Every structure is written in structure tokens, then in C-alpha cells.
Structure 1
Amino acid sequence: MGNRLFQEAREYVLNAEQIANGTLDGNKDDAITKAKNALVSAYANTTEAEKRQLRELQSTIDSIS
């Protein structure tokens, strides 16, 4: 999948998840906000398959918020 916004959303969610579980230093609230913004941006420009994956990533963010 070459969608840059989709890839960035995945990276931001992974980053937020790592900060939330303590494997990466950073501000959890800022990381979650960045991940949510990236998910919104990516959602408008994705295929149905990517949208399904984005919904899973949103669930991940919801669980650590």
C-alpha cells in the first residue's frame, strides 16, 4: 500500500501505542492527538481495505486513550 497518509497514520498509532505502554518516551496525550489527526486525514483518501485497517487502528487508539 503506497498511500502516504495511510502509512503515516499507522506510524502515529504505533508511536502512541509504544508511548502508552512505556516502551517509548513521550507525551501520551500529544501522541494520541497526532494519531487521531492522522487517522482522520488518511480516512478520506483510502480504499475500502485501508479503511477497515484504519478502523482497527482507531480501536487501538480508543483503547489507550
Structure 2
Amino acid sequence: MGNQLFQEAREAVSYAEQVANGTLNGDKYEAIHKAKNALSSAFNQTTDAERLQLRELQNSIDSI
């Protein structure tokens, strides 16, 4: 999976999760906002398999 937008979305979600859990310092709401934007940007540029993973990542963000 070499899709750059997909990778950026995964990293943004991971960062938001870590900020929400207190593992990293940062603004939780800004991190969530950036993750949602990254997911949105990636969605139209991905394969079906990647879209499934993006939906799972979206669920993770929604549960924070």
C-alpha cells in the first residue's frame, strides 16, 4: 500500500489516538480535526481494500 494519502490518514489517526490517550502531548480536538481531514482526502484516492481500512480508522476517530 504505497498510497501517500492513505499513509498520511493512518498516521494522523494514530497521532490523534495517542494524544487522546495521553501518550503524546497535543491539542486533542485539533488532532481529531486533522485526522478527519486526512481521512476525507484519502477516501477518494484509495482502493476498495484501503477504503475498508479507512472506515475502520474513521470509527476509531469517532470513538475518541
* TM-score normalised over the length of structure 2: 1.00
Equivalent pairs, count: 64
Can you list the C-alpha shifts for 1:20-59, whole angstroms capped at 9, x where unaligned? 0000000000000000000000000000000000000000
- Measured in 1, the distance between the counterparts of 2:16 and 2:40 equals 15
Q: Distance in 2 between matches of 1:60 and 1:17?
A: 8
- Structural mapping, 1:19-58, within 5 Å: 19-58=19-58
Name the aligned partner's letter for residue 49 of structure 1: A
Local SS of the residue matching 1:18:
helix
CA distance in structure 2 between the aligned counterparts of 1:41 and 1:6, rounded to whole angstroms = 9
* TM-score, structure 1 as length reference: 0.98
Percent of residue pairs bearing the same amino acid type: 70
Q: Which residue of 1 aligns with 2:10?
A: 10
Q: CA RMSD in A?
A: 0.2
